[in-house]
Structures are given as C-alpha cells and as structure tokens.
Amino acid sequence: MKIDAITIFPEYFAPAQLSLLGKAQGRGLVELQIHDLRSFTSDNHNTVDDTPYGGGAGMVMLPEIWGQALDPLLISDSDLIILTPAGSRFTQKMAEDFSKSSHLVFACGRYEGIDDRVRQYYSQSQFAKAGVRVHEVSVGDYVLGGGEVASLVMIEAITRLIPGVLGNPESLTEESHNSDGYLEYPNFTKPQEWRGISVPEVLLSGNHGEIAKWRKLQAQERAKKAF
C-alpha cells in the first residue's frame, strides 16, 4: 500500500518509523511518504493560510497550495482522506475498508481547516472516474490541533490489517470476533499471583470451552461498562 501524507509539520510523523509500521515499510508492505505543504508555496513567507471569507476567528488553508500538493498524487485509484473534526467517525470497519485500498492520501489541515473547495474539486466526477474517492474523517468527538495525530491513528489502525504486517495474524481473527460489538476480554500473564491478586482460576484449567465462555462473558461485561 502506498500512503502519502501532506502536512506543514512533517516531524509529527517520526513515530511512523517505529514498531510494526516501521517494519512494514522496511519489508516493502507499506510505502509511506510525507510531504511538506510549505514546499508547494511560492511566496517569500511560505504562506499556507488566510482569513476566512465572511469573517470569524482563525485562519483557513489556501486551496491553491493544496491543489499544487494534491494534483500530482491523485492521478488514479486513490482514497483522499481529509482530516476534520466535522468528518465521519473513524471506526474499525472503516479501517478494514481502507486496508484494502492501494493508495491513501492524508490531507492534514491545521487552523480552521482547508478551504472547502478542495473537497469539492476532488469529489467531482472526472476524479471519481479516474478512481479518486474523497472522505472527510474525524478520529473522535474532540478537536485536535490538526490532522497529523489523527492521520497517525488511522495509519496505524489501517496498516496493521494489511496481510503480512502483523507477526501473529491470529490476533486479527480474535479481534474480528470482538468487533461484533464486544470489546476485548482482560488478559493475564506470569506470575500466577501478583501483589495478592490471582489470575482467574478458569484460565489455568486447560478447559478451552470454559475459557472461551468466560472470555466472552468478560468482554460483554466490559462492553456494558464502556457505553
């Protein structure tokens, strides 16, 4: 999978070189390229934003700069993801769908966001025909300083679903059972007793049927508490 992210803060993406995602890049499963939006400016101040038409607080990112950055990337089959707190909520199902894409482009807005004509322009039928799909996505019901951290969240959740990225693909099968509305059950490892708290007896029983039943119940209990 090819992933492009456009940002005015490329350094935000340093953690993408670590752990599973770093390894996935080393093994050629993921090709991640970070683009500095300011490199597409042509004025002395490298301006990327201006005041909003109609007035109001904050600044809006200039469509021309975004057009310069996006045009060379959106040439064929691609998902353009515009990060905004006003977007559709990112879910595990969305991560599964995006993990089947061959090319993701993350547009990381800052300030009051990107001029809406950028979304409109790349949603037009000529881009749709070329295989461009535009999504506005939010990672949660809160406002971040920009789309960089939100992109990292999405990239991590999506890339671990690409076949070969996870060391142990069985953990994905277990998860898919859990994503039927249950959160995961609690886990325990050695020692059998820690600071007076023992591992639940059933997990030591070797009875796989009983263990599965217990875990399902625990996951249901957790799910009840979570919502």
Contact positions toward ligand ADE, by CB under 6 A?
83-85, 138-140, 142-144, 146-147, 150
Nearest approach, Cβ of residue 196 and ligand ADE (Å): 41
Of residues 80 and 219, the one with the C-beta less far from ligand ADE: 80
Torsional class of 89: left (φ above 0), alpha (ψ -120 to 50), beta (otherwise): beta
Rounded to whole angstroms, how far apart are CA atoms 43 and 62?
13
Q: How far is the CB of 153 from ligand ADE (least distance, A)?
A: 8
Rounded to an integer, what distance in angstroms lies between the CA atom of residue 102 and that of residue 30? 10
Give start and end residues of each alpha helix (H) in 56-146: 63-70, 92-98, 117-123, 125-129
Q: Of the two residues 101 and 148, which places its CB atom closer to ligand ADE in the complex?
A: 148
**Smallest separation (angstroms) from ligand ADE to the CB of 213:** 38
Judged by beta carbon, residue 84 or residue 159, the one nearer ligand ADE is: 84
Residues 6+ apart with CB under 8 A from 132: 74, 76, 77, 78, 79, 80, 122
Residue 116 C-beta: closest distance to ligand ADE, Å: 15
Closer of 70 and 83 to ligand ADE (Cβ): 83
Q: Give, in order, the Cα–Cα distances in Å from 175 to each of 3, 100, 169, 180, 226.
A: 24, 17, 10, 9, 17
Q: How far is the CB of 122 from ligand ADE (least distance, A)?
A: 17
Rank residues 61 and 74 by Cβ distance to ligand ADE and give the closer one.
61
